[in-house]
Amino acid sequence: MKLFFSRLMKGLDVTRNVMLNVFFLLFIGFFIVTIMNARPSLPEHVILQLDLKGELVEQIKRPDFGLSALTTPAPSQVKLHDVVTALERAAKDDAVVGVRLDLEELSTAALPHLRELRRAIEKFKESGKPVMAYADNWLQHQYYLAATADEVYLHPMGNIGLNGYGLYRNYVRDALDKLGVDVHVFRAGKYKSAAAPFIQSAMSDDERKANQAWLDTLWRVYTDDLFEMRGIKPEKLQNTLDHPAASIQAYDGDMGKLFLAEHWVDGLMYAEQADALLISKTGDAELVGYKNYLMASGSSFIPTQPHSADNWIGIVSGSGQILNGEQPSGTIGSDTMVEQLRTALDDERVKAVVLRLNTPGGSALASESIRHAVDVLRQHGKPVVVSMGSMAASGGYWIASAADEIWASPATITGSIGVFGIVPNINRSLKKIGIQTDGLGTTNIAGGMRLDKSLSPELADSIQLSIDQIYHQFIQHVADGRGIALEEVELLAQGRVWSGQDALELGLVDALGGIDDAIQAAAKLAKIENVYEPVVIDPPQSPFELIMDNLLSEATMVFASTHTSLLDGVMSSLRVEIGQVMLWNDPRGVYALSGLDVVQ
């Protein structure tokens, strides 16, 4: 009996602890939801502050929740749609009397995304309300947005870091040789360079020539836009950046004088002077961050419902590598995106679909699954328009090839029509420390893919044949989808990367423009251009996922280091390379992936 009551009391104690933990978690969840849905009050007159902190993204990328998150936390993120929505709402809001751009903590942003924000700022300026930019320093991507302002002011000792665009990678072949690690790469397309760092010590001549072409296009788009916004002549800017010492010397080493004389800025002043100047134009008003403004003006992290009952343009978005199966936000899972496209197919209210892609590519099998789902939509009479963001290359273009129309930014990185497979081998490395691999099998290829066993020539030949077949399947899809002769696609393919501008001239895309243009094009194809409503089709999200996405949007990571050394930068680059490889999950090990990372 004593034992019975002892066990009973222990059971009740465990039950009590479990219930307390459950109630505690429910309380925390309720508290977070309450705080995040609370609407802060707005002052009578508002200056909307675009205080952008982190990486500018279209989809929030959720971090891994593990011990690594403490040492390598996820970066802060700024959702492009949120900023655009705040500007659109502020333009019509009488309480908002102006905008101030605070961009020094905008860590990274692709040029096509910057152009989308520029468009939103210019639409706001049509309201007649002033827009001012001020900073102590601007990096290249930050200055692009600052240049959209009516007036641009800089600290008297500030700097503007315009450098142009570059493409640099760490090549690890020599290190692998020293370690005794062999990497077998099988590829179709002489420009296909995603696996180049494993088998080369430097960029090849073919890659160098192809990369120079699209980098030049990006830089031309950037400098042409600066000319439109600030009147800075591209040839004068080029000369200044090619010969910085001579340019600075002409102004006695005073950078501020150079920026003022070259009209990069409208004046040099301190922060309180810039604030006073803005107030003199708007009248008494208070700065309100765009996130607080969105919350106060009715926005919630819970998705809004469409207003109309019919004529929807379904918006399906995907960012990150293309992987098999269901995948979280920040990557494109084949099952996840196919389910979104099937939702659009089954819903009679959806008359057309805009597929927004920001991806370097990924699994060939996953890309084909999504491409097929796009084709099924078209077969059922629902037009599909692909809108390319900063990059829609390789597997991204594989998917896009099935669309009725493809829209891109002039600075979009696209093409890269090619495939590769990679098989590492540590047989030599193990021999160095006295470990031998031996055994037998029932076929010539038994155990052929072991890391510790040399790859046989026969198996290598079979892998290359498979790569070649998938490559020909890729270019056939492009030929069929784009109405281009197969021989011509062969010339455009080979894994070569193109800018959106060049892709338009080559027939790989149909038009240049942003997602709004793509939505209008989809409505026209569906013959509903007079009355339609864009409706976002997201994967089903749990309340926890909704909360996490909102928290990660501009979340401040308390463990993040504010100082990065040169060695940290190199190691970070290598971690990214290895991290991308660790994501690969194609069952055949075949990838349509571009390995480009533009630096500024």
Q: Which of 271, 296, 321 is the last residue of a domain?
A: 296
pLDDT (0 to 100) of residue 420: 80
Domain co-membership, 15 together with 139: no
**Does a structural domain hold residue 231?**
yes
Q: Which of 488, 520, 537 is the last residue of a domain?
A: 537
Domain co-membership, 287 together with 346: no
Domain co-membership, 89 together with 28: no
Domain co-membership, 29 together with 48: no
Tens-digit pLDDT string for the chain (600 aa): 444 445 545 555 555 555 555 554 555 555 455 445 555 688 999 999 999 999 999 988 765 544 444 444 556 899 999 999 999 999 999 999 999 999 999 999 999 999 999 999 999 999 999 999 999 999 999 999 999 999 999 999 999 999 999 988 888 888 888 888 888 778 776 767 777 888 888 988 888 988 999 999 999 999 999 999 999 999 999 999 999 999 999 999 999 999 999 999 999 999 999 999 999 999 999 999 999 999 988 754 444 556 666 899 999 999 999 999 999 888 999 999 999 999 999 999 999 999 999 999 999 999 999 999 999 999 999 999 999 999 999 999 999 999 999 999 999 999 999 888 888 888 888 888 888 888 888 888 888 888 888 888 888 888 889 889 999 999 999 999 999 999 999 999 988 999 999 999 999 999 999 999 999 999 999 999 999 999 999 886 555 555 545 544 443 332 333 334 444 444 455 445 555 555 666 656 666 777 666 555
| Whole-number Å distance between alpha carbons of 526 and 523 | 5
Domain co-membership, 344 together with 396: yes
**Does a structural domain hold residue 77?**
yes
**Does a structural domain hold residue 220?**
no
| Whole-number Å distance between alpha carbons of 73 and 56 | 17
**Does a structural domain hold residue 191?**
no
C-alpha closest to that of 284 among 293, 273, 275, 297: 275
Domain co-membership, 337 together with 324: yes
pLDDT (0 to 100) of residue 570: 47
Q: CA 347 → CA 302, 313, 521, 537, distances in Å?
A: 22, 11, 20, 11
| Whole-number Å distance between alpha carbons of 210 and 421 | 22
Number of domains, the chain: 3
Catalytic residues: 192, 394
pLDDT (0 to 100) of residue 555: 37
**Does a structural domain hold residue 584?**
no
Domain co-membership, 287 together with 337: no
Domain co-membership, 459 together with 508: yes
pLDDT (0 to 100) of residue 553: 46
| Whole-number Å distance between alpha carbons of 267 and 260 | 6
**Does a structural domain hold residue 542?**
no
**Does a structural domain hold residue 474?**
yes
Q: Which of 537, 561, 584 is the last residue of a domain?
A: 537
**Does a structural domain hold residue 4?**
yes
- Structural domain including 323 reads 310-429+450-537
Q: What is the CATH number of the domain that holds 506?
A: 3.90.226.10
pLDDT (0 to 100) of residue 102: 97
Domain co-membership, 314 together with 259: no
pLDDT (0 to 100) of residue 95: 96
pLDDT (0 to 100) of residue 194: 73
Give the CA diameter of the chain.
Answer: 97
Helix axes 457-482, 364-379, angle to 10 degrees: 30
Tokens of 94: 């009488």
Domain co-membership, 5 together with 50: no
Give the DSSP H/E element, type plus range, for residue 174.
helix 173-179
Domain co-membership, 136 together with 269: yes
Helix (H, G, I), strand (E, B) or coil at 185: strand
Domain co-membership, 409 together with 506: yes
